[in-house]
Structure 1
Amino acid sequence: MIRRFGEAPRQDVRYRLRPGVYAILPQGRHLLVTHQAEPVPELQLPGGGIDPGEHPLRALHREVYEETGWIIARPRRVGAFRRFTYMPEYEFWAEKLCMIYRADPVRALGAATEPGHRAVWVTPDQAAMRLGNSGDRHFVSRALGLV
């Protein structure tokens, strides 16, 4: 069974399954995250939805690049969780199946290409407190030995 974080699913809502991949990207004493400006400004693990027919690792590389401008290497899956949420940018309720990887940030090729995103370096402690959802905070704490 995959652990759920966040709100319990609502009985009056039909959820669409939305598989996604997200990266914990440590380098030295910092962690590369993305700041998303809309719909609510927040820090997030870089990542997002897997397109139909796309391999999860390909999606991980694509999403990290789009949201940070960085390329990554050596992704290793560390776990998964579910969360139920409304996605205003897509105008639907989603059961997000979030697959979490740990990878090495290799090099910045430029700025984030996805509008409203920018790369931010934070300490692991800051990430464990400030990431926008409890599932991300849990996996950062666990993967980096903060718990």
Structure 2
Amino acid sequence: MADFDITPYRQRLAAQLVDWAQVGSAADLEAIEGGMVAPPAAFVVPLSDAPSANPLAGDFVQHVVVRLGVVIALSNLSDGEGAGAMSELSLRRSQVRAALAGWSPNEAIGWAQRGPGTLLKFNDGVLWWMDEYVTDFYERRA
């Protein structure tokens, strides 16, 4: 396996989150930086990979742990304290979790597990949140 491909995760979200305004990738997120986004939106971004040492002599086998992020953009201005946005955030995070947690695009990749989530920013009436998902695979070469 070459570099880890996040495309199946974006495709899975696009298929599952049919009532969302946009589901995209890191390139889409960069394109709207500083511009307008139509919430609710989700963007799948690569965060990191951590390969282990090769424990075998001869054949090359390396365990790789991958972290990807799902950036969620929401706008709910129904109140001045942000309770509406936080309530919607809980709902939208659970929709993403239902689509990804315990799912794998194929038998060579481990099931996605939910990692930490964090508030990225609140800007121009849009709340930006990121949840991390962790999966793994084995890279092999003879």
Please say whether Structure 1 and Structure 2 have the same fold, judged by a TM-score greater than 0.5.
Answer: no
Q: Which has the higher helix share?
A: 2
By relative contact order (CA 8 Å, sep 6+), the higher-ranking structure is: 1
Larger Rg: 2
Q: TM-score range by the shorter chain?
A: under 0.3
Q: TM-score, normalised by structure 1?
A: 0.27
Q: TM-score, normalised by structure 2?
A: 0.28
